[in-house]
Every structure is written in structure tokens, then in C-alpha cells.
Amino acid sequence: MNILLVDDEPLARARLKRLLQAFAGHQVVGEASDGDTALALAGSLQPDLVFLDIQMPGRDGLSVAGELLHLPLPPAVVFLTAHPQHALEAYQVAPAGYLLKPVSPEQLAATLQRIGLTTKAHLQKQQAQQWLSYKSGNSLQRVELQQMFYLQAEDKYVRFVFAGGEALSDLSLKQLEEQFPQDLIRIHRNTLVLKRRIKALHLQEGRHLLELWQCAQRLEVSRRELPKIRQLLGAG
């Protein structure tokens, strides 16, 4: 398992690196002391696992984790912090683990064992066939499911809105919902969104609007679907 260490404290990185040497098959392939460097290394090294400090100068660990989620094959993220009050906020970006400093060998072992098959390397095979096809002129195109923002029913078609463009499909929302139940969630009778894009829920003039990562459009959530969106966001 390839690991990226991100912490602005050199001694903390050195200690964790030393602890990881006890685990066969786990190798540290890169280190970063700030968020921007971490994102650059994650893009080039494609680690399976990132140990990520929450409090760092400049871009903090929470915002870095949010960006990592949007990689085509995001790494598992384990947060590191000396401040347990950050736990609730940290879990909004669905980490694979949360460790308090100083990390003990026992805590580290339990976390690595729990992560198991959730790392990028194992998810790659599962996600290999997750493509959506659509017609463009006389040709058939396809886009990765993980590039989607939302899918919205319009007349007889479903409009795909994804990173880099839009397209129309003959598939129904119901067909798409049944095909990708782990990835798509219904927020309205005419709208599905990619779960991993969900960022926040806002109340505006009596309407609940969903904010998605890297998407300017806010989408209305119906009263019927509101409870499960709140649950997904950890808002009760």
C-alpha cells in the first residue's frame, strides 16, 4: 500500500513513518508539510492512503480531504490531530479513520486493518465499469460516473451534468438509480446527484438547496428526500 504523509510538523511525520515500517506491504512514497504540496503529490503519486493532519498553515486538512475526494480514484484518508473537537467536522468528508496524536502502534495497527479493502487500489477494479454512455451526433460517447455532478429528468430525456460538459440520455432516472445505488442518490423526483459530490445543505427562502463540490448550481431538495440527505450529511 502506497502512503502519503501530510503534516506540517517534521517530527510528527518522522515518528509516523517509523511506526509504519513495522507493517509489511506499507511504504511511504511521499511527504508534504502543507495542503497545496499534498494535493500536487496526491495527483502525481496516486497514493492508496493519505495520513492527513487537520491543522496546518494555509489550506487545512479538511479542505485538502474535500479536494482528494474528487480525484478519479480517491485515496483513503486518515486524519491526524491533537484536537479531538475536530472529529465531527472531519467526518463530514468521510475519512477512513481518525487518529489522535501522538499515534500509538496499537491505534495505527487497528486503523490499517479496518481500512482493508477500502483503499484506492481495491476500489479501482470495482469502479472500472462505472461509465455512462450517451449519443453525440452520430457517435456514442461515454463519461465516468465519478465525473458526474447531477442527473436531471427533462421531458423524455435525462440531462447529465458532469465535469467538462453536459449530455442527454434516453435512460430514465429510475434505471440509473437502480444501476448505481451506491453512488447516486435521489434528492427530488426529477434529480439524482453523485453522493461524493455532496458538500452542504442550505435553507434559502423556505427552500432546501444542495451545494455540490466544484459545481456552481445549487439543487432543490424535496421534502420527501430531505431526511436522507440530512442523514448523509450527519445533520440528524
- The residues spanned by each domain of the chain are 2-126, 129-232
Q: How much is the pLDDT for 236?
A: 46
pLDDT tens by residue, 47-85:
989 999 998 988 888 889 888 877 767 888 999 988 766
pLDDT at 172 over 50: yes
Q: How much is the pLDDT for 128?
A: 47
Average pLDDT over residues 184-188: 96
* Residue 51 cell numbers, joined: 495520513
Average pLDDT over residues 37-49: 92
- The more confidently predicted of residues 162 and 132 is 162
User: Comparing 2-126 with 129-232, is the CATH topology the same?
Assistant: no
What fold does the segment set 129-232 form as a domain?
OB fold (Dihydrolipoamide Acetyltransferase, E2P) (2.40.50)
pLDDT at 90 over 70: no
CA dihedral 146, 58, 201, 51 (to 10 degrees): 50
Q: How much is the pLDDT for 160?
A: 96
Q: How much is the pLDDT for 84?
A: 66
Residue entry with cell 450529511: 233
Distance CA(12)–CA(85), nearest Å, equals 20
- Report strand pairing: 157-162 vs 97-100: unpaired
To the question of pTM greater than 0.75 for the whole model, the response is no
* Run of H or E including 161: strand 157-162
Average pLDDT over residues 158-163: 95
CATH among 3.40.50.150, 3.40.50.300, 3.30.70.600, 3.40.50.2300 for 2-126:
3.40.50.2300
Q: How much is the pLDDT for 121?
A: 52
Provide the total of helices (H) and of strands (E) in the chain, helices listed first: 8, 15
Distance CA(18)–CA(20), nearest Å, equals 5
pLDDT at 124 over 60: no
pLDDT at 217 over 90: yes
